[in-house]
Every structure is written in C-alpha cells, then in structure tokens.
C-alpha cells in the first residue's frame, strides 16, 4: 500500500519526508507502542507522511485514526486522505460532533466492525459509543490543542492492545525543550519544504491596526493568494 500511494502521487517525497517516514515505519515494526512527535512547518508535507504511516498500519490488518482539534481541520485532512486512499480501495470514516442521526450511526458501526480502515474526525471519535475493532495507529494533529486525557482516551484503542501514537505539530519545538517537556517522546522533524513551495510570510499586528490587516487580506485574496 505505501508503495502504491507513492506511485500515485504526482510528486516525489523530499529527503526529509523519506527520513521521517523511515523512522515511523521502524517504530511501527516494534513490539512496544510508538510515541513520536512529527513536527514540520505548515506546507512541509506532514499529512502525506501520516498517510504513508496509515497505509503501513492498514496493510498489516489494523485500523488507523486521525484526530484533529476542529471540524475545519479534520475536514481538510479527510478530503485529502480520501483523494489519496480511496483509489487504493481503502474505506475512510468521518466522525465529528455535527454528524448525527443515521449518518453517524452508520459510521460508528463501520468503525466497530472494522470495515472503516481509516477514521478521521474530532474528539467525537473518543466519545462514548465509539469502539474500534482493531486500532493500531492513532494520529493526533495539532497535538498541543488537546488535553492529556483526550490523547490518552484515543490511545486506549480497543482496550486489548495499546496502539502506536503519532502526534503532529507545526509549532516548532527546539530539541532541548522537546527533550525536557516530552522526555518519553521521540521527535521527527521535517526540516525542508518541498521544492516550489512559496515561503510563508508571518506578520504580527497590534489589535489597533485591525483595518490595515483586513485591507491586506483583501489585497492578497484579490491577487489569488491565500491568507
């Protein structure tokens, strides 16, 4: 599956992405649960690394869950992952707080019977009533936005086996600080952007300059750019 996904991508992975994929796959092959933080700038390609980790997990007969802090972010991941993984024959479930009624019931059943190999959503996937058939890998995006209890709840998995845990963050954490704050955590860093990526400009404005910010946003969007 990982090879088929790579072959289907319209671009090649960067050396940095290849390196962190190798680190994650090595962890997935071990008997003890992975506990790894994947960090990299916005646009550095963390999602495709997560997708390759999911493929490695799924081809071994396990389920994978990806939890994001907001519905908007979860939906972005869902659209991208469906686009990549559906052509490979993989089924992806979608679980968020706004999904109710028959749609939610069908998704919860697919998670429970294992027919949904990948589950994407918000903390709705750790609510009562959601039971994984065979969770092998839990991926948490923007991990600093979740409480410890929420991450542990996802890591509880199906109750029999503790799944591997991969946390992703675009918040740069210097190595020494990471070692202090996350003594039990391995850290993988994507330290280069894919070729052709426009550098992202970050600016800080005082709240009193709000009209200037809105004008700048209007100009950038009018020029066909994103903000």
Q: Please write the tens of the pLDDT for every residue from 169-180.
A: 887 777 667 666
Query: Average pLDDT, stretch 120-142?
Result: 87
- Within a 10 A sphere around the Cβ of 95, how many other Cβ atoms? 26
Paired residues of 165 in beta bridges: 35, 138
Task: Give me the pLDDT at residue 186, please.
Answer: 86
Q: What is the pLDDT of residues 2-40, one digit of tens each?
A: 999 999 999 899 999 999 999 999 999 999 999 999 998
Identify the CA nearest to 69 among candidates 137, 156, 161, 170: 170
Look-up of token digits 């992202």: 200
- Within a 10 A sphere around the Cβ of 173, how many other Cβ atoms? 18
Q: What is the pLDDT of residues 46-80, one digit of tens each?
A: 999 999 999 999 999 999 999 998 898 889 889 99
pTM of structure? 0.82
The answer to which of 47-51, 134-138, 153-157, 204-208 has the lowest mean pLDDT is 153-157
The answer to which of 16-20, 91-95, 208-212, 217-221 has the lowest mean pLDDT is 91-95
Task: Give me the pLDDT at residue 124, please.
Answer: 83
Contacts of 116 (CB under 8 A, 6+ apart): 63, 91, 92, 93, 107, 110
């Amino acid at each position: 599956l990982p090879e088929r996904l790579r072959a289907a991508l319209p671009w090649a992975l960067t050396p940095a992405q290849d390196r962190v994929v190798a680190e994650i796959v090595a962890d997935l092959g071990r008997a003890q649960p992975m506990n790894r933080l994947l960090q990299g700038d916005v646009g550095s390609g963390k999602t495709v690394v997560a997708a390759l980790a999911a493929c490695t997990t799924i081809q071994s007969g396990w389920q994978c869950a990806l939890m994001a802090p907001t519905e908007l972010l979860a939906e972005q991941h869902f659209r991208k992952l469906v686009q990549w993984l559906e052509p490979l024959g993989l089924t992806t479930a979608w679980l968020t707080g706004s999904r109710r009624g028959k749609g939610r019931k069908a998704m919860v059943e697919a998670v429970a019977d294992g027919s949904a190999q990948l589950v994407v959503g918000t903390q709705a996937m750790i609510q009562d009533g959601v039971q994984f058939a065979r969770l092998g890998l839990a991926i948490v995006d923007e991990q600093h936005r979740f409480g410890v209890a929420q991450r542990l709840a996802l890591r509880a998995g199906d109750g029999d086996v503790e799944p591997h845990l991969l946390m992703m963050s675009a918040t740069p954490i210097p190595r020494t600080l990471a070692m202090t704050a996350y003594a039990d955590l391995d850290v993988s860093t994507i330290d280069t952007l894919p070729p052709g990526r426009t550098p992202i400009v970050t600016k800080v404005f005082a709240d009193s300059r709000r009209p200037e910010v809105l004008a700048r946003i209007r100009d950038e969007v009018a020029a066909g750019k994103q903000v």
